[in-house]
Structure 1
Amino acid sequence: MYKNILVPVSFEADRNAQGAMEIAKTLRADGGAITCLHVIEQLPQYATQYLPAGHLEKAKAEVVENLKSLVADVDNATAHVVDGHASRTILKYAENNGVDLIIIASHQPEMQDYLLGSTAAKVVRHAKCAVHVLR
């Protein structure tokens, strides 16, 4: 069983955030903690100028509400939203916070993932703790 579990959450249609939370609850030791983390990728400056005013703030607020609903009925679970590059930020958060298990939902890999690498693949390759991938 694991004492400090990180569940990176993406709200893309083919990711199973709820399934990852169920696995986290099952694998968590008595008294253990679960952290849901959503990383907002930073857009280039030239792209943000074309977005409607307040769009990024509204999107972030929506993410926060979705994360809160994931952890609402889970004891000792918290939710965090951070800015950064997805895989690097997940790995850094895990290392800085003593995470002993990362549970990450992934999609079925396509050719582009083999060439570039998905977030889950990068986390699996570089994490210094156990990683459970959910498809």
Structure 2
Amino acid sequence: MPGRILVSLDIAEPEDAKGLLKSAEELAGLRKDELHVVTVVPTYSMPIVGSYFLPGEEGKVLDRARQALKNFLSEHAADPESVKGHIVHGTIYSEIMKAADNLNCDLIVLGAHRPELSDYLLGPNAARVVRHARQSVYVVRHQ
């Protein structure tokens, strides 16, 4: 039975995002799944960060992210019409898990760089999703 796959892309890292999208499309094709692509715009809620932006700037950032994701998918997705893009706003790992739950996905596809010492101490977003998501998680290593 076909399911739904959620792939989280950082479109600010286009080379990594292209490879990750390709991997997710291959998995979706093998499984005959619906593919959802999510990009997380981090929140400005911390006062130290938010104080650098004018009122209403977050909305503009979200609009630019929506357009950037749409452009990215139209250029790099094998079948752009079949891929559903989503922009979410907040804490990266939390928003990925919320999106997967809200979209009833059964698999999350994430990219991860080779771990560095700080990753072992702080726990990267991919590690948090792997530990806490209700769905299975497929991690694609970036070089």
Scaled by the length of structure 2, the TM-score of the pair is: 0.76
Unpaired segments of 5 or more residues in structure 1?
none
The CA deviation at 1:82 is: 1.6
Letter paired with 1:46:
S
Count of aligned pairs: 131
Q: CA separation in 2, counterparts of 1:57 and 1:94?
A: 19
Contact 2:69–2:85 under 8 Å retained in 1: no
The CA deviation at 1:59 is: 4.3
Range with greater deviation from structure 2 (116-125 or 59-68): 59-68
Range with greater deviation from structure 2 (7-16 or 114-123): 7-16
Q: How does 1:121-132 map to 2 (within 5 A)?
A: 121-132=127-138
Q: Deviations over 1:114-135 (max 9, x none)?
A: 1111111111111111111111
Q: Deviations over 1:49-104 (max 9, x none)?
A: 4xx9x973674233442244333625621111121111000001111211111111
Q: CA RMSD in A?
A: 2.7
Unpaired segments of 5 or more residues in structure 2?
none
Structure 1 residue runs of 4+, over 6 Å off?
none
Q: Percent identity?
A: 31
Scaled by the length of structure 1, the TM-score of the pair is: 0.80
Q: When you count helix as a share of all residues, which structure comes out higher?
A: 2
